[in-house]
Structure 1
């Protein structure tokens, strides 16, 4: 299978296909073009160099075994739901390509991050169905996002070689690459506290969520009590961030600083402020992830960057090493977040931003 064949199936040039497959940061003319290319590559079982040709011809004496790898997205219904996970997926797709492996399937199944739904559903049947979709060609699985504990055990039993890439630890259930959400949230809230904020809100998932625990721990460390009115449980989408800021503006008691569990929620909040300007209430907003769009908001979003490139690369290294029998014990690789100070946070005694619109 050649790049030319993928280009023909996707309706783009071979040069565009090569750039997309090899560079996760390459910007296509539109997200739809990139999605078409990867769908074509998956459908055609594409691998670089001669690996696919050797498989097709039945040649077994290749230098390295070609592995079939699936990716399970547990926090997204589709590719456009959360840019952070989409950007992380781009890195992993390119790494699979570089490792001369075959990406067999990308599943978008938020069921696996919902404990209540996992208790109601027949997980064995769902997981068996996933495996059948790949014609039983799946040597390993990468799970991106939080996963129900029971579901994780069943996935590990089925696929044998599993790596989790996440902000929430699996507690050594499977190999994992972790950027600890609790530490990330503490870093963000500590920054707001350093600016003099004492009334600090939280917007995001609260149930069994490391970032929410980090928010509470940071407040406790500084002898600050969390206010129920400042905490908003959301599904972490732009639309729900927009609604959350609307609720804050309608409330009489409002926080001066807000930590959003992810960037896209914070962007929704900034968009609401941009269209409903209120000079008497301009909170400092900080988030975590550092998606591409965070640099282009007005004001530019202060956030804690997660090292997506390294997370994706280490996930592939761990998975391939396990599939090759290189290690048997469960391995955790933990990476640090980095505070990106921009314009959406100001000192508590200042009047807020001079401009807030997207």
Structure 2
């Protein structure tokens, strides 16, 4: 289906559609417009022009077109973590740029946790029964249960994971190590003099939570269960947790949020109740676009999402083409981005929040 048709559906120019679909690093003026373009492309089974010509000509093996599927395991489609939403769009752009065909994108959170085998089997049958073309490659975005990975291998032999939690060499993976992400964040708070440090985010089988715990233990700082709050990667979850903290008798002077979007919600609630005498230092991880527009600007750990997406597809295509047979793991370094949302422990009550 042509770019012109997508432009008509989304109400934007043909050149904008082309740039969004074929240039993964292109920053659209509006995230909502970008989402609409990718949604329309999936709906119409968009095929890049060059790939479409090769399909029509019945190109030989040396120019074979590859069909790729994507599984999103974190969150519902309507409430997707902004970091994973960005990662998905960039990977989609890389798929188009490399003249491959995106067969399907599934949003199935059931794969992120251990569930009954029959539940996995039913979900997999539903996913793959509707495919017209057998997949050449499969990309998992987000954490995936070990048993689920084994079952996925029966449907596609070329699989790669891109995430912050390792698969422990079950399949190829591109990784920003969640433990190192948390260590960077928590050590920064410790350097600022904080010892009462909270954690907000997913706790079950989560590398960032383990990193938080291990870093406190490394510096002989007691882990206080009252400072640990389970939360999904959503803004409203950050609001909920901060409201709870403000009604608690014992609160941390600093908080590490596993995701930026949680931190944004917490800061918004602090702004709403400015009369409350509580202004903790807040640090998080991902460095999503919203992190640059909070006030104070959010200190976070940057994950190089462009590189994660690019290397994910490169490694997958290399495996499909027989370039490697052993399981490969590429770990990409993250980096601390110091902005304004953290202060020394003695200045903890002087920061004002507004977004």
Task: Give the superposition deviation at 1:62.
Answer: 6.8
> Matches of residues 9-20 of structure 1 in structure 2 within 5 Å?
9-20=9-20
Question: Matched residue of 2:6: which SS?
Answer: helix
**Structure 2 CA distance, aligned partners of 1:121 and 1:348?**
51
Bigger Cα displacement from structure 2, 151-160 vs 1-10: 1-10
Task: Give the superposition deviation at 1:352.
Answer: 3.7
**Structure 2 CA distance, aligned partners of 1:38 and 1:283?**
38
Bigger Cα displacement from structure 2, 320-329 vs 60-69: 60-69
With over 3 angstroms needed to count, the CA separation of the structure-2 counterparts of 1:59 and 1:187, relative to structure 1, is: same
Task: Give the superposition deviation at 1:235.
Answer: 1.6
Task: Give the superposition deviation at 1:194.
Answer: 0.2
Question: Matched residue of 1:297: which SS?
Answer: coil
**Structure 2 CA distance, aligned partners of 1:68 and 1:120?**
27
What root-mean-square deviation, in Å, do the aligned CA atoms of Structure 1 and Structure 2 show? 1.7
For the 8 Å contact 2:67–2:133, the answer to whether it is kept is no
Structure 1 length as normaliser, TM-score?
0.94
Bigger Cα displacement from structure 2, 41-50 vs 283-292: 41-50
What do the CA deviations read for 1:311-335 (whole angstroms, capped 9, x no partner)? Answer: 0011001111111111111100001
Q: Does 1:198 align with 2:195?
A: yes
> Matches of residues 183-262 of structure 1 in structure 2 within 5 Å?
183-262=180-259
Question: Matched residue of 1:244: which SS?
Answer: helix
> Matches of residues 1-358 of structure 1 in structure 2 within 5 Å?
1-28=1-28, 30-55=30-55, 57-61=56-60, 63-78=62-77, 80-115=79-114, 118-119=115-116, 121-278=118-275, 280-358=277-355
For structure 2, which runs of at least 5 residues remain unmatched after alignment? none
With over 3 angstroms needed to count, the CA separation of the structure-2 counterparts of 1:40 and 1:237, relative to structure 1, is: closer
Question: Matched residue of 2:278: which SS?
Answer: coil
Task: Give the superposition deviation at 1:79.
Answer: 5.2
Task: Give the superposition deviation at 1:41.
Answer: 2.4
What do the CA deviations read for 1:285-305 (whole angstroms, capped 9, x no partner)? Answer: 000000000010011110001
For structure 1, which runs of at least 5 residues remain unmatched after alignment? none
What do the CA deviations read for 1:123-142 (whole angstroms, capped 9, x no partner)? Answer: 12211221123224321111
Structure 2 length as normaliser, TM-score?
0.95
What do the CA deviations read for 1:214-248 (whole angstroms, capped 9, x no partner)? Answer: 00000000001100110001122111111111111
For the 8 Å contact 1:131–1:138, the answer to whether it is kept is no
With over 3 angstroms needed to count, the CA separation of the structure-2 counterparts of 1:63 and 1:50, relative to structure 1, is: farther
Task: Give the superposition deviation at 1:29.
Answer: 5.6
Task: Give the superposition deviation at 1:44.
Answer: 3.6
Give the aligned length. 355
With over 3 angstroms needed to count, the CA separation of the structure-2 counterparts of 1:123 and 1:28, relative to structure 1, is: same
**Structure 2 CA distance, aligned partners of 1:59 and 1:194?**
61
Bigger Cα displacement from structure 2, 43-52 vs 333-342: 43-52
Question: Matched residue of 1:159: which SS?
Answer: coil
What do the CA deviations read for 1:190-233 (whole angstroms, capped 9, x no partner)? Answer: 00000000100000111111001000000000001100110001
Question: Matched residue of 1:122: which SS?
Answer: helix
**Structure 2 CA distance, aligned partners of 1:212 and 1:311?**
21
**Structure 2 CA distance, aligned partners of 1:352 and 1:292?**
27
